[in-house]
Amino acid sequence: MKHDGGKLNFGTILTLIGAILAFSIGSGYSTGQEVVQFITSYGYKGILVGMVFLIIFGYSNYAYARAGYVGKFEKGVDVYRYFCGNIVGTIYDVFSVVFCYMSFIVMVGGAAATLQQQYAIPKYAGGLIITILAASTVILGLKSLVNIIGKIGPIIVIICTAVGIYALISDGGNIPTAVQKINSGEIKVMQASSNWLLAGGSYAGFCMLWFGGFMAKIGAENKRKEVTIAVITAAILNTLAIVVSGFALTANVEIIKDAQIPNLILVNKLMPIFAPIFAIVVFLAIYTTSVPLLWTATSRFAKEKSKEFYILTLILAIIGYFIALRVPFNKLLNFVYVINGYAGILLLGFIIVKNVRMRMSGKLELEEA
């Protein structure tokens, strides 16, 4: 982070908030599939899932950004070596890159499913559109990436949350009955984990593996106070959005329980005239997340703006496109997010231990001075 002298630039803060939100909403939140598996499926305990997510998401992103400020890493993924040491850090470095790439594949699948469900566009065509857009934006570089997604992100969150609030106002009275049916097993919904605590940890955990390199770079290139405000604000807004959306879908669980894109079912029920526009909003949300995920994978192996970077971006985008077409979106999301979420929880342990040791030795205060 840059020297903190001078006034805060609220334009920068809003852009950073937007970039963080845009990166985190992606296909899972905007489609509703992630929210159903991590919030709706736990009934009222979905609120506890949200609280666990808030704490871990906010803490880990601040820790990444501070580490980037201190370490000025050549590559953002070096943040894992900072927290875990060379051996484990290298394992996490490789694992996080693989996971980000797998998540990019999830985004392609989500975009294809969205366009197919709303517009009957063949999956191969919808997947191709998002693949081309993501690869093209990655080639522009990180600075352009943050500026682009930072401006789109807040708009998407506002729209998706507004849909959730409207659904709660219209159908909120259904929630007690819906929760009872979910808890009794009368209505079966795909669940992220066996209990709410693990689900909350897993939810934040997979985001941790997304955000390591991204937040370390942001921390190195911006003022500490501005990044801190952005991280805290984004974490609160993100949590409110997923909980509101989760209970909006709970109120309508009868009609969305088997849907690939639950939010589209919800909008078609409540505001059918708005559904075609909302499908575009979902698509844009997926786009804003797919770009930094693909960038993270490519930038690990090639220098940005080099010929190798451009070629690798295209190769990875094409491979991801073909894989995404072969697996149902909800199953793909469940497998990739949940399994990797547990790896994120383990990483959280390393971050806490590192920060506690440095705090006890006084080094943390020296680094932040």
Does the domain made of 21-368 have the CATH classification 3.40.50.300? Answer: no
Q: What is the DSSP string of 22-59?
A: HHHHHHHHHHSHHHHHHTGGGGGGHHHHHHHHHHHHHH
State the average pLDDT for the chain: 87
Q: What is the DSSP string of 208-267?
A: HHHHHHHHHHHHHHS-HHHHHHHHHHHHHHHHHHHHHHHHHHHHTHHHHTT-SSHHHHHH
Dihedral sign from CA coordinates of 54, 159, 265, 19 = negative
Residue-wise pLDDT for 172-188, tens only, equals 999 999 999 999 999 98
Residue-wise pLDDT for 12-62, tens only, equals 898 898 888 877 776 567 888 889 999 999 999 999 999 999 999 999 999
Residue-wise pLDDT for 97-122, tens only, equals 888 899 899 889 989 999 999 999 99
Residue-wise pLDDT for 287-340, tens only, equals 878 888 898 889 888 888 889 999 999 999 999 999 998 888 888 888 887 788
Instruction: Please report, for residues 88, 153, 212, 320, the alpha-carbon distance to residue 218 in angstroms, rounded to integers and kept in the order given.
Output: 23, 16, 10, 26
